[in-house]
Amino acid sequence: MRTALTDLVGVRHPIVQTGMGWVAGPRLVTATARAGALGILASATMSPGQLRSAVREVRSRTDAPFGVNLRADAGDARERVRIIVEEGVRVASFALAPSRELIAELKDAGVVVVPSVGARRHAEKVAAWGADAVIVQGGEGGGHTGEVATTVLLPQVVDAVDIPVVAAGGFHDGRGLVAALAYGAAGVAMGTRFLLTSDSTVPDAVKARYLAATAADITLTRAVDGLPHRMLRTEMVAELEGAGRLRSLYRALRRASGFRRISGLSWPGMVRDGLAMRHGKELSWSQVLLAANTPMLLRASMVDGRTDLGIMASGQVAALIEDLPSVAGLVGRVMSDAERTLAGLGAVAGPPAGASAGPSGGASSPSGA
Ligand SMILES: Cc1cc2nc3c(=O)[nH]c(=O)nc-3n(C[C@H](O)[C@H](O)[C@H](O)COP(=O)(O)O)c2cc1C
Write the DSSP string, 47-113. -HHHHHHHHHHHHHH--S--EEEE-TTSTTHHHHHHHHHHTT-SEEEESSPPPHHHHHHHHHTT-EE
CA 356 – ligand 1 centroid, Å: 46
Shortest-distance Cα residue to atom 11 of ligand 1: 95
- For a pocket test of ligand 1, which of 154, 173, 192 has the largest count of ligand atoms closer than 8 A to its C-beta? 192
Question: What is the atom index within ligand 1 of the atom nearest the CA of 93?
Answer: 11
Question: What is the atom index within ligand 1 of the atom nearest the CA of 116?
Answer: 11
**pLDDT of 367:** 43
pLDDT more than 70, % of the chain:
83
Averaged pLDDT of the chain: 88
- In this model, does residue 225 exceed pLDDT 70? yes
pLDDT tens digits, one per residue of 308-336: 878 899 999 999 999 999 999 999 999 99
- In this model, does residue 110 exceed pLDDT 90? yes
CA 95 – ligand 1 centroid, Å: 9
Whether ligand 1 lies within 6 angstroms of the CB of 98 is answered as: no
Whether ligand 1 lies within 6 angstroms of the CB of 314 is answered as: yes
- In this model, does residue 265 exceed pLDDT 70? no
For the packed helices 120-128 and 150-160, what is the interaxial angle rounded to 10 degrees? 30
In order of start, what are the domains of the chain with their CATH numbers? Answer: 4-201+322-341 (3.20.20.70), 214-313 (no CATH)
Mean pLDDT of 179-199: 98
**pLDDT of 235:** 85
**pLDDT of 53:** 98
**pLDDT of 108:** 97
Whether ligand 1 lies within 6 angstroms of the CB of 138 is answered as: no
- In this model, does residue 364 exceed pLDDT 50? no
**pLDDT of 359:** 42
